[in-house]
Amino acid sequence: MNSSTSPKTAFITGITGQDGSYLAELLLSKGYEVHGLIRRASTFTTDRIEHLYRDPHEPGAKLHLHYGELTDSSRLISLLSEIAPDEVYHLAAQSHVRVSFDEPEFTANTTGVGTVRLLEAIRMIGLDVRFYQASSSEMFGATPPPQHEETPFSPRSPYGVSKLFGYWTTRNYREAHGLYAVNGILFNHESPRRGETFVTRKIARAAARIALGHERHVYLGNLDAVRDWGFAPEYVEGMWRMLQADEPDDYVLATGTAHTVEDFARLCFGHVGLDWTRHVRFDERYLRPTEVDALIGDPSKAARELGWRPRTFVPELARIMVDAELSHLQGPTADVAPFPTPYPGRPIAG
């Protein structure tokens, strides 16, 4: 492992997303100065990192946010020159698989070509930096489980194809230009900060709302899909570990366990004393033109070489997510509760 102890500077794209918010928290807790790329929008998009933000005029502010876009190369070049980070975590993407079928060109331009824009900016400036690419188990697509670093790719969506472009681009910059660049091939990881349209959060939220009488039904698509769901705070710690290794390499992070969407619904509704079959309805609009039937990862390389191990598995994950929704709906701090900080005192992967 890299043993340097001097404070480092990190640049995170996608800092307003689920993973970016946990990663920013982790890096700040390690003494990093953190710079994040955010998109200009007509409303605030920084809810997930609000609790980390200090007025930059105050002394000691270590989190800095910068407007920018993955489609804007010149902005990426100027920002990276200005910040000169030690580590770049590239998490920004159009990350929704279903939406990628509606917006394939946009997904390719951001999720795919965005990676080469960032890497090319690093190469052009000549930055001595460590680069993390948020690769995905979706790249395995139709290849049956268990999937690991040597498993052939067979993507089934514009999102998966775009991520595969980012994966090979990252490897190419490592091999052709000698850049310290790694792919974290992460299987699904969830949390109370997960976007509301991903299936775990959608189910956890619905179970809590139905239990409290706010609504009666939730509409879902394919209940038979098998996924390997882990807990997001543990996975961002794995990202950090990848950039501390002596040599750059690619790693799968996963729990190695399998559950269906139906299992997840049963657990969430069961946690609030409800029978899921009474509240889950089918809507074909949530089906994908081509589905990924089963993703189950083999994280043994990350365990062996990085000492990374998952600690939270689906039954506990479902409870954590439903409880967060309940406390958001019931608690006095409704603005804070949906995005709780990681569980104090709880050891994350190690």
The CA-atom distances, in angstroms, between 102 and each of 94, 165, 349 are 12, 19, 36
Tell which one of 8, 9, 10, 14 touches ligand NDP (CB under 6 A): 14
Query: Is 6 noted as a catalytic residue in this protein?
Result: no
217 among annotated binding-site residues:
yes
Helix or strand holding residue 42 (H, E): none
Residue 100 interacting with ligand NDP (CB under 6 A): no
Label residues 2-40 b or e (16+ Cβ within 10 Å = b): eeeeeebbbbbbbbbbbbbbbbbbbbbeeebbbbbbbee
Tell which one of 9, 115, 147, 188 touches ligand NDP (CB under 6 A): 188
Q: At 68, is the secondary structure helix, strand, or coil?
A: coil
CA-CA distance, 141 to 8, in Å (whole number)?
Answer: 36
220 binds, among ligand GDR, ligand NDP, none (CB under 5 to 8 A by kind): ligand GDR
Residues in a beta bridge with 36? 12, 65
**Closer residue to ligand NDP (CB): 186 or 211:** 186
Phi/psi at 241 (5° precision): -60, -40
Tell which one of 26, 134, 280, 326 touches ligand NDP (CB under 6 A): 134
Phi/psi at 347 (5° precision): -70, 130
Query: Is 138 noted as a catalytic residue in this protein?
Result: yes
Residue 73 interacting with ligand NDP (CB under 6 A): no
Among 138, 190, 234, 237, which one carries the catalytic annotation? 138
Q: At 85, is the secondary structure helix, strand, or coil?
A: coil
**Would you say 81 and 125 are in contact if contact means Cβ atoms under 8 Å apart?**
yes
**Would you say 192 and 257 are in contact if contact means Cβ atoms under 8 Å apart?**
no
CA-CA distance, 101 to 91, in Å (whole number)?
Answer: 20
Among 100, 136, 162, 191, which one carries the catalytic annotation? 136
CA-CA distance, 7 to 9, in Å (whole number)?
Answer: 7
Per CB under 6 A, the segment of 37-45, 169-177, 326-334, 341-349 that binds ligand NDP is: 37-45
Among 22, 32, 132, 159, which one carries the catalytic annotation? 159
Q: Per 3-state DSSP, what percentage of the chain is helix, strand, and coil (rounded to 5)?
A: 40, 15, 45
E strand residue ranges, the chain? 9-13, 33-38, 63-67, 87-90, 130-136, 180-186, 189-190, 218-220, 226-227, 230-231, 251-253, 259-260, 280-282
Residue 204 interacting with ligand GDR (CB under 6 A): no
Which 77-96 positions form the footprint of ligand GDR (CB under 6 A)?
A: 95
Residue 222 interacting with ligand GDR (CB under 6 A): yes
Residue 136 interacting with ligand NDP (CB under 6 A): yes
97 binds, among ligand GDR, ligand NDP, none (CB under 5 to 8 A by kind): ligand GDR
Binding-site size, ligand NDP (CB under 6 A): 25
Residue 183 interacting with ligand GDR (CB under 6 A): no
64 binds, among ligand NDP, ligand GDR, none (CB under 5 to 8 A by kind): none
**Closer residue to ligand NDP (CB): 117 or 279:** 117
For residue 288, the minimal CB distance to ligand GDR (Å) is 5
18 binds, among ligand GDR, ligand NDP, none (CB under 5 to 8 A by kind): ligand NDP
CA-CA distance, 95 to 123, in Å (whole number)?
Answer: 25
For residue 7, the minimal CB distance to ligand GDR (Å) is 31
Q: Residue 308 burial (CB < 10 Å; 0-12/13-18/19+)? A: buried
∠ CA 251-257-258, nearest 5°, is: 115
Residue 70 interacting with ligand NDP (CB under 6 A): yes
Query: Is 159 noted as a catalytic residue in this protein?
Result: yes
- Contact footprint for ligand GDR (CB under 6 A): 95, 97-98, 136-138, 187-188, 197-199, 202, 220-222, 225, 227, 261, 286, 288, 291
- Contact footprint for ligand NDP (CB under 6 A): 13-14, 16-20, 37, 39, 45, 69-71, 91-95, 110, 134, 136, 186, 188-189, 195
Binding site for NADP(+), by residue number, is 217
Q: Active-site residue numbers?
A: 136, 138, 159
Binding site, by residue number, is 217
